[in-house]
Amino acid sequence: MKLRYWPLLALLPLAAHAAQVNHSPALAISSSSFTDGGVIALQQVGPDPACGSGEEKTPQVSWKNLPQGTRSLVLVMFDPDGGKGLGVVHWLAYDIDPASGGLDEGTAGQSSQLLKVGRNSRGTLQYRGPCPPAGDNPHHYALTLIATDLAPGNLAEGLDRQQLMDALQGHALGAQSLVGRYGH
């Protein structure tokens, strides 16, 4: 063997070790109510006939592979197409116990022992189902799960989106989103 290849052979054990390193699976969010990129079902849509006469139930949400140190979770449902491009907050849920593994459909529209619900764009403390103006292109609804190092109970009741984001500064450990579409 020629001497010029010797330095490369010395790196082989390092390359083999790097190939064996186990990487943690990525944070994941899923929903049986709608798939990523799919159409949001009428169960989640606003009850107004102009919206499609939905049931306004919160979507089912599941999560797995939370970052180490996760003590509570936050869910934000935001329509960036709404409000003529300024965006509309449909749902803020926080102080969620990560050990629960998920939320059943229709169980998280208002504050309970399971979680706190913040202010939507209308200023109410409840889930607000999708309801884009008739004739608009389908809107995109980003449902984002944020893992935090905050213990449940550390966030005030009735936060709006900006207050919640301010409170999460320095405490977010990771996030993942699903995007559903709805239009009529």
Looking at residue 8, its pLDDT comes to 42
* Residue 17, pLDDT above cutoff 90: no
Looking at residue 184, its pLDDT comes to 82
CATH of 24-182, one of 3.40.50.2300, 3.40.605.10, 3.40.50.620, 3.90.280.10: 3.90.280.10
Helix residue ranges, H only, 50-183: 161-168
* Residue 7, pLDDT above cutoff 50: no
Report residue 163 as tokens: 């207050």
- Residues 116-144, mean pLDDT to the nearest whole number: 96
Amino acid identity of residue 84, one-letter, is K
- What's the mean pLDDT when you consider all of the chain? 90
* Residue 21, pLDDT above cutoff 60: no
Residue 53, C-beta contacts closer than 8 angstroms, at least 6 positions apart? 42, 45, 47
Total residues belonging to the chain: 184
pLDDT: is 51 or 165 the higher one?
Answer: 165
**Contact, 179 vs 37, CB < 8 A?**
yes
> Strands 61-64 and 139-148: what pairing?
unpaired
